[in-house]
Amino acid sequence: MGYSLAYWPILSLSLLTMVLTAATETGFAALMRPLMDGSFVARDPDLIRWIPLAILGLFIVRGVAEFVSNYTMKYVGRQVVKTLRERLFWHLLHMPVGAYDNTPSGLLVARLTYHVEQVAGAATDSLTILVRDTLTVLGLLGWMLYLNWRLTLAVLIIAPLVAIVVSRVTRRFRRLSRRIQSSMGDVTQVANEVIDGQREVKIFNGQAYEQARFDQINERNRRLHMKLVAAQSGHMPLVQFIVALALALIVWLATLQPTLESLSVGTFVSFITAMLLLLTPVRRLTNVNVLLQKGIAAGQNIFALLASPTETDLGKQSVKRARGHIEFRQVEFAYTPAQGAVLHDITLTLQPGETVALVGRSGSGKTTLASLLPRFYRPQHGSITLDGIPIEQYRLYDLRAQIAYVGQHVTLFDDTLAHNIAYGQRGPEREARIQAAAEAAYAMEFINALPHGLQTRVGENGILLSGGQRQRIALARAFCKDAPILILDEATSALDTESERYIQAAMENLRRNRTTLVIAHRLSTIESADRIAVMQQGRIVELGTHQQLLDQEGIYARLYRLQFNTEAPASGLGL
């Protein structure tokens, strides 16, 4: 309602025309009296002439009024859809990383598509029905009271019956439509997974499993819909039957002696017409519940999402270009209280321009540690500072502007290579910078071989490129951003030895003059780091240069020997 009310001038026009529509409805019933009594009983020549014109005029007014009220209502409805989508999309862009971890993406997409439509439907369609049909009912009832109040009272006795039936069914609708919505989310979710993971599904012969899973959800969705349909279609005839009862009762009452005397043919026909005209708006009014309940259920989902917290950005400190001095001090972090801390007592300093490598088993917390820096998550204890200032005190935008990131899973957008490389960048000399970045990442050689060079579209998530090519594009993106801090999280994992040599050179280029946090499995790729931190179960257990760590004869030395020995025969360096 709040969203609709923003368009109150248009809404008022809509309401005004609704009043007109309702008035013409009553007008039509009223017209029946002179039509019957004047034209057919009294045979008044004047009436015989103007009644057909009156009918025409009535329906012209009605047609125009209906058009305007529908058009304006839909106009407001679409505006509401647009505004809600805008807000939701903004919210999605600003939701914390943790909220994404905990919500299936299909559900988020359903909020944006399906649920928004339902809310808009409730906000406008049901408003139309509530206003127009209520007015129509009031108009018709008023006319009926004027014609014969005794008969009208009889009609009104039926009304509570209708109300009871309606309220019975209402609760069921609400429950059902909420369940339908969540099952729509399931349908989208499974479909998304299959579409994204189609290669895995094929190679692991998961078709039968996915089909079965989908069939189950699909069937559940159908069943829920059928329950809703049953409730919906069952209660409509029920209401109609009650109205028919009323009709029978009225006809019986009207034909009783004293009343029959006082009723003209025209009055009776007009009364019955008004009563029959009541049917449709009353039925719509009892059905408006479904629409409203659906809308409310969808609204609860949408507004819960909109009310969920966005990333905290209370920092005031702005910074153009940081020096790149980073300090972790006794940092402790847990994703969820239940899971317990995955980082313990992390203390680590990175001097400006220094490269620190993180090594350790998978699951030891390397990625987690790196993701604290751009404030994807907030540590529960300890502090992280950039150039001596806690990172929470920076504006989020400014903080993230200091960091370039290349991860294991390169995300490419369905756009040209140039746009992918310059993603998020604006400003002059873009073309030149893209070119330079692509060259520095050793990506130009394969880009030049593509039909449209940098203007080649990469397809959804870069499906048209190889893993190594994608990683080089990701490196080019990092070059293009030219940030003082660089995070490389297993950025070379998708590469063969040949392309790794290129990437290695590209990374050396990239690391120059930047504070770099590099995470790598292959220890050969990090030997040149200034210092190496070895992580184990969320703690830094060893810290030093490559040589120092080897001399320490600890975990790093053991890991190194292990890799060195297995890799030695292949690279021909074995002793």
User: Applying CB under 6 A, which residues contact ligand ADP?
Assistant: 101, 335, 339, 342, 360, 362-368
User: Nearest-CB residue to Mg ion?
Assistant: 367
| Whether 462 contacts 412, CB under 8 Å | yes
Assess 367 for contact with Mg ion (CB under 5 A).
yes
- Between residues 418 and 488, which has the closer beta carbon with respect to Mg ion? 488
- Between residues 12 and 308, which has the closer beta carbon with respect to ligand ADP? 308
- Between residues 76 and 535, which has the closer beta carbon with respect to Mg ion? 535
φ/ψ of 343, rounded to 5, equals: -130, 130
> CB of 102: closest distance to ligand ADP in angstroms?
8
Assess 528 for contact with Mg ion (CB under 5 A).
no
What residues contact residue 35 under an 8 Å CB cut-off, 6+ apart?
A: 47, 51, 266, 269
With b for 16 or more beta-carbon neighbours within 10 A and e for fewer, the 409-441 pattern comes to ebebeeebbbbbbbbeeeeeeeeebbbbbbbbb
Position 457, amino acid: R
- Between residues 310 and 367, which has the closer beta carbon with respect to Mg ion? 367
- Between residues 17 and 364, which has the closer beta carbon with respect to ligand ADP? 364
Where are the alpha helices (H) located in 197-264, listed in sequence order? Answer: 198-203, 207-254, 257-262
Segment contacting Mg ion by CB under 5 A, of 269-277, 363-371, 397-405, 461-469: 363-371
> CB of 408: closest distance to Mg ion in angstroms?
7
342 binds, among ligand ADP, Mg ion, none (CB under 5 to 8 A by kind): ligand ADP
Assess 317 for contact with Mg ion (CB under 5 A).
no
| Residue 249 exposed, middle or buried by CB count within 10 Å (0-12, 13-18, 19+) | middle
> CB of 367: closest distance to Mg ion in angstroms?
3
> CB of 357: closest distance to ligand ADP in angstroms?
13
| Whether 358 contacts 531, CB under 8 Å | no
- Between residues 102 and 566, which has the closer beta carbon with respect to ligand ADP? 102
Angle subtended by helix axes 134-147 and 8-33, to nearest 10: 30
Interacting positions 81-100 with Mg ion (CB under 5 A):
none
> CB of 402: closest distance to ligand ADP in angstroms?
21
> CB of 346: closest distance to ligand ADP in angstroms?
12
Segment contacting Mg ion by CB under 5 A, of 41-49, 189-197, 288-296, 367-375: 367-375
Three-class secondary structure of residue 206 per DSSP = coil
- Total interface residues for Mg ion by CB under 5 A: 1
- Between residues 27 and 365, which has the closer beta carbon with respect to Mg ion? 365
| Whether 508 contacts 519, CB under 8 Å | no
365 binds, among ligand ADP, Mg ion, none (CB under 5 to 8 A by kind): ligand ADP
- The CA angle 73-79-85, to the nearest 5 degrees, is 135
363 binds, among ligand ADP, Mg ion, none (CB under 5 to 8 A by kind): ligand ADP
| Whether 6 contacts 22, CB under 8 Å | no
218 binds, among Mg ion, ligand ADP, none (CB under 5 to 8 A by kind): none
Beta-strand runs (E) in 275-366: 326-334, 341-350, 355-360
> CB of 316: closest distance to Mg ion in angstroms?
32
> CB of 541: closest distance to ligand ADP in angstroms?
13
- Between residues 37 and 542, which has the closer beta carbon with respect to ligand ADP? 542
- Between residues 339 and 566, which has the closer beta carbon with respect to ligand ADP? 339
> CB of 201: closest distance to Mg ion in angstroms?
25
Three-class secondary structure of residue 326 per DSSP = strand
| Whether 242 contacts 162, CB under 8 Å | yes
| Whether 470 contacts 446, CB under 8 Å | no
Q: State how beta strands 515-519 and 485-489 pair.
A: parallel
Contact residues toward Mg ion (CB under 5 A) are: 367
